[in-house]
Amino acid sequence: MEFRQDTQPFEILKQYFIPAIYHRILEGRKKIFQLSLSFEGVEKIIKKSPKTFIHASFNQVITGAVLRMEKLFAPEELNLEVILFKKPTLNNFEISFELVNKNIFKIGQEEYFASIVCEYSYSSMDQVTYYPIIYREVCSNGMVSVMTKNFTESIGADKIFDIGCEWSRCTFENYQNKLNDYFEQLKQEEFAARNEEKIEHEIIQRMENVLGVSIAREEKDLMREIDFEQPSPQEIIHRNLENLGSNQFGVWNAITDFASRERDIDKRNKMFLSAGQFLSKEMEKTLNKKSKSHSKNLQWSQILRIAKNNL
C-alpha cells in the first residue's frame, strides 16, 4: 500500500524551525514592541506596536503540530514525513504543511495513514490552524476521510501548547469506533440506480454536493488533455464500485478518491474539509438514529448488564 501524495523527510522543516525575535525597544523617545525574524541571513521586521500583541514563531508552530500527532498516536508508532505546501519567504512569512505518519493503523479491518495539516501566517499572526486527516488506500483506488469538525481548531497563537482533550488518543479511538460502525452500515446499503449512465450522473452530482465543486460533464476529455495518467470522474466511479460493490461505501470511496487526486493543494484541502464536515454530520445523524432505535428496544437483561458495568 502506498500513500498517494508525495512526502519528503521530516528534516526539511529544520530550516523553518526559526524562533521569532520579540522585544521592547526605544524608537526615539517612544517605547515600542518589535517583532522580527532572522531568515536567509536577513533580519526582517514584521511588526511594531506601542502595545503588546500575540504571535507565534515558526518553531512553536511546528512543535505544536508534532505534539498533536503525539497525542493521537503513541510516540513509538510515529514515523513522520512532510508535505510542504507553502514555504516562508522574505516577502511572505507564511507556512503550510502536512505531517504524515507513514506507519499505518487500523480502523476495524481497514488500514489507514494519519496526518495533521498546519497553517500559519504572520499576516494573521494571532491564529494557528491545525486539523487532522486520515487516508485510506485500496489497490488502485483511494479514499480520504477528514475527522469530525470537533478536531479542527483555529487557536490563539499563544495557546499552541494548550492541547485540548479532542486530541487525546481516547477521543480518537472513540472516533475510530464510530467511523468503523458507520462504514460497516454503508456497506449494507445498496446504491439504487437502474443503469450505469444514471449511476455515474447521480454520483457526480453527489460529488459536487459533498466536495463543494463543479464537475464539468466533459471533464473526462479535459483531464486527459492535461494529464494522461489522471482518470476521469467516470473512471474513478467505475473502479470503486467494481472493487467495493455498488453500495454507499463504494460511492463514498469514489467521492473521496476524486478529491485525493486533485493536484492543486488549496483546492484539495478545501475538498477534504467539505468531505469531513459532510461525513461528520451524516455519521452522527445515522448512528444517533440507530442508537435511539436500539435503546428503545433494550431488554431488562441488557439494561442489567449495562448497570453492572457490562459484567
pLDDT, one tens digit per residue, over 112-128 is 888 899 999 999 999 99
SS3 197: helix
Which residue would you say has higher pLDDT here, 167 or 89?
Answer: 89
Whole-angstrom CA distances from 252 to 88, 184, 238 are 36, 12, 13
- pLDDT at position 180: 84
Flag whether pLDDT at 310 surpasses 90.
no
Spatial distance between the Cα atoms of 69 and 180, rounded to a whole number of angstroms? 21
At 87, the pLDDT band (50, 70, 90 cuts) reads: very high
Query: ∠145-267-122 over CA atoms, to 5°?
Result: 100
- How much is the pLDDT for 309? 62
Dihedral pair phi/psi, residue 7, rounded to 5°: -115, 160
CA atoms within 13 A on the CB side of 222: 7
- Please say if the pLDDT value at position 38 is more than 70: yes
Taking all residues of the chain, what is their mean pLDDT, rounded to a whole number? 82
Other beta carbons less than 10 A from residue 309's beta carbon: 6
Give me Rg for the CA atoms of the chain: 23
What mean pLDDT is predicted for residues 76-94?
Answer: 90
Q: What is the pLDDT of residues 188-223, one digit of tens each?
A: 898 766 677 788 889 999 999 999 998 865 544 444
Q: Does the pLDDT at position 175 exceed 50?
A: yes
pLDDT > 80? residue 295: no
List b or e across 47-72, with b for residues whose CB sees 16 or more CB atoms inside 10 angstroms.
Answer: eeeeeeeebbbbebbbebbbebbbbb
Contacts 24+ apart (CB under 8 A), 7-13: 7/81, 7/82, 7/83, 7/100, 7/102, 8/81, 8/82, 8/83, 8/84, 9/81, 9/82, 10/80, 10/81, 10/82, 10/99, 12/82, 12/84, 13/62, 13/82, 13/84, 13/97
Mean pLDDT of 151-170: 85
Q: Average pLDDT, stretch 283-299? A: 69
Whether 16 contacts 1, CB under 8 Å: no
Residue 56 has pLDDT above 70, yes or no: yes
Name the band, by pLDDT with cuts 50, 70 and 90, for residue 306: low
Which tops the pLDDT comparison, 218 or 98? 98
Sign of the alpha-carbon dihedral angle for 266, 267, 272, 277: positive
Rounded to whole angstroms, the Cα distance separating 252 from 27 reads: 59
- Buried b / exposed e over 131-147, threshold 16 CB at 10 Å, is bbbbbbbeeebbbbbbb
In contact, 83 and 9? CB cutoff 8 Å: no
Greater model confidence, 299 or 43? 43
Let me know: does 32 contact 50? Beta carbons within 8 Å: yes
Bridge partners for 95 per DSSP: 120
DSSP type of residue 110: E
Give how far the C-alpha of residue 19 lies from the chain's centroid of Cα atoms, to the nearest Å.
Answer: 27
Name the pLDDT band for 225 (thresholds 50, 70, 90).
very low
